[in-house]
Structure 1
Amino acid sequence: MTQDNTTTGLGGCAGCGIALQSEAADKPGFLPQSAASRQPAICQRCFRIKNYNDASSVTVDQNEFVKLLSGIGATNSLVVHIVDLFDFEGSLISGLQRFVGGNPVLLVVNKTDLLPKSTNLNRLRNWVQKQAKAQGLRTVDVVLCSAMRNTGFDRVIEAIQTYREGRDVYVVGATNVGKSTLINRLIRDYSDLDRELTVSRYPGTTLDAVRIPLDDGKAIVDTPGIVYASRMTELVPRSVLHALLPEKPLKPLVYQLEEGQSLFFGGLARFDFVVGKPQSFTLYVAPAMKVHRTKLERADELYAKHKGEMLSPPSKEELDEIPVWTRHTLRIPPGGNSDVYISGLGWIHANGEAGAHTDVYAPKGVKVLVREALI
């Protein structure tokens, strides 16, 4: 994944951690010779993200990410796994327990600021613990926080100090869950380093492990984000991300539906209420997402006629960049305690006590499932 620093002589990028090199502009870590004296030294990709909000298309072999994770099991470390509450199932690293061996895992749940203020945090924490356990993840603790709003961050620091016990700390997570944002808070508040990691809305911004030294000789290690193609945010063009990634608290949208009605989420997904008693459904999606209601019998025709225009994003020019839709037939159990979850898009809470039969259309590969209600 990285080049030998002794051959480049440029060290590592202060933004993403990749080994710097000045030979190939289309490879990770490129730093023009004219900028080699700049301090702190950052690669061209990080420079463009920081100054122009533009990420290049340079990618790193995902097998290298897995190798990096696998090496953690041979260390004596505290593993801090950061997940995105808005995309919990999509951002939880499957099989993490196998990678980390006997090292303790602290689960940090970021972006809690997106939920309504009335959300019961104790219930939310219990929900997270239950879901993590169901995925085979054993945690020493669960901490809720918002890196953006700086809520719960003191508790994260306290938990790291409690469970670290003089060891290195490895910070792991999927792309775009807020790892680097949290690490930057650590740097600003608990380190003398004159640098910050590159933070952007683009997946995969951290390209190599970044070691942040601690006073006791140990280090906090920020690892690259794991890319999961089952998340819609990994499959859409970058110009579409603004409609998927909320930056402000969600405003639940309530729709009263009868069977035979459909909801379009732009041109990215479709929810069909196929069979069931009339009931309400509450949508938790980014404020920028456009929702359009129609009759199920007209849904196919409407999509064919208006995709890329009224049903957008994506635009007509971007349609070919997204995998074709596949149908997921889901039965929502009675009781009013279930969500239909679409990774990267959000979720639909079914409020009806009688249950329902539904179909969800989403780009092929995107994780779609019925789960116990988050809220």
Structure 2
Amino acid sequence: MAQGGTEVTEYVKLDPTGSCAGCGVQLQSQDKEKLGYIPGSAKEREPAICQRCFRIKNYNEAASVAVDNDEFLRLLGSIAATDSLVIHIVDLFDFEGSLISGLQRFVGANPVLLVVNKVDLLPKAVNLNRLRNWVQQQAKAQGLKTVDVVLCSAKRNLGFERVVEALEYYREGRDVYVVGATNVGKSTLINRLIRDYSDLDNELTTSRYPGTTLDAVRIPIDDGKFIIDTPGIVYPSRFTEIVPKTVLKALLPEQTLKPLVFQLNPRQTLFFGALARFDFVEGERQSFTIYLSEGLKVHRTKLERADELYVEHRGGLLVPPDESELHELPAWTRHSVRIPRGKNYDLFISGLGWIKANSMTGAQVELHLPKGVKVLLRESLI
């Protein structure tokens, strides 16, 4: 079916279009190596899902699939020709990395509701009103105009009633497009909406692996309109897109973040597994608070020993990744950052977490990261 010049998949209980009910890709039984493969014996299964989705759902396996970013942008560009509400889902843990840059020019005059997922990862003491103001300021700085900001956790069912209320208030009887980068919890949120707005039994495929949804999926809702789930935008500037799939489990936090506080003297170094390195080059003795997944171990050493330690212990003491996976990461590049005095700042590393500088005296630091990973200095989130 055409929608704004773009082919999309109709999502219905019996799946008469021959599309996978999990990821939206066209089903086929000819080639096991191509997208949409379904064994002939499984064609009568309801709902019909491709072998890739079946393995993700039942075995948590991931097939290596790349979807062209130009196709994603073409689909986004078609939204401007519709009269719709756009829900942009971002990952609070990777806010700047998961925000779609230039979204405004793709959606035209359609209103954008910003849904910030994974708020459950932050410590309970965080003031949600202050957090919401922080999100609004960051979104405005990125040129994104929003009608509202909603904080939630689709996984933990926190704040979801507010998402539903905002959707109803701003939708005004229109279709709803849901957009977001990979791994922000988009399909998890839509599955929650399916339970509230539709009598469909099947759900979208969800997993920790990027690129789960491969085509636009149109989900009929009770008033005859549709929720349209779009494929996740792939940003190579995020750690989650460049690490081996076996490392994703360690990289993506599942539980509330437990801040790690390090009192550092100048000329000390922190390693985050073998994924990244932080050097405190110059400044007064001060504390740095690390927010990252508990699956990553932090190792402290002296700056003069850092190069030697990395060469000797990467893939061993410094993991992940292990030695067999190191070649899959781009070579490190160095980022020199001056942290100003006067307020608290975060050194944000897309997909990995952030380092909060707690001193008001400023500091000179350096980050060593795989080439292309986004790093920026921002006002503290917490």
TM-score range for the pair, normalised by the shorter chain length: over 0.9
* Contact in 1 for aligned 2:87/2:115 (Cα 8 Å): yes
**Identity across the alignment (%):** 72
Q: CA RMSD in A?
A: 1.6
Correspondence 1:264 to 2:276:
no
The residue correspondences of 1:1-375 to structure 2 (distance < 5 A) are: 11-375=18-382
Q: CA deviation at 1:259?
A: 0.5
Distance in 2 of aligned mates of 1:115 and 1:285 = 11
* Contact in 2 for aligned 1:264/1:292 (Cα 8 Å): yes
Distance in 2 of aligned mates of 1:191 and 1:133 = 34
SS at match of 2:120: helix
- Counterpart AA for 2:164: I
Q: Number of residue pairs matched?
A: 373
| 1:63-111 deviation line (CA, Å, top 9, x unaligned) | 1111111111111100000000000000000000010000000000000
Distance in 1 of aligned mates of 2:78 and 2:358 = 45
Moved over 2 A (4+): 1-5
- Counterpart AA for 1:75: T
Task: For structure 1, list consecutive stretches of 5 or more residues without a partner in the other structure.
Answer: none
- Counterpart AA for 1:220: I
Q: CA deviation at 1:10?
A: 5.8
- Counterpart AA for 1:286: S
Q: CA deviation at 1:189?
A: 2.3
SS at match of 1:297: helix
SS at match of 2:301: strand
Distance in 2 of aligned mates of 1:333 and 1:163 = 40
Q: CA deviation at 1:9?
A: 7.5
Task: For structure 2, list consecutive stretches of 5 or more residues without a partner in the other structure.
Answer: 1-5
Distance in 2 of aligned mates of 1:3 and 1:81 = 19
- Counterpart AA for 1:251: K
Distance in 1 of aligned mates of 2:9 and 2:238 = 33
* Contact in 1 for aligned 2:8/2:215 (Cα 8 Å): no
> Normalization by structure 2: what TM-score?
0.95
Distance in 2 of aligned mates of 1:76 and 1:190 = 20
* Contact in 1 for aligned 2:197/2:222 (Cα 8 Å): no
SS at match of 2:28: coil
- Counterpart AA for 1:209: A
2:3 corresponding residue in structure 1: none
* Contact in 2 for aligned 1:308/1:319 (Cα 8 Å): yes
Distance in 2 of aligned mates of 1:22 and 1:153 = 39
- Counterpart AA for 2:21: A
Distance in 1 of aligned mates of 2:371 and 2:204 = 33
- Counterpart AA for 2:69: Q
Distance in 1 of aligned mates of 2:143 and 2:54 = 39
- Counterpart AA for 2:105: R
* C-alpha distance 179-4 of structure 1, shift in aligned 2 (>3 A): closer
Q: CA deviation at 1:336?
A: 3.7
SS at match of 1:225: coil
* Contact in 2 for aligned 1:30/1:43 (Cα 8 Å): yes
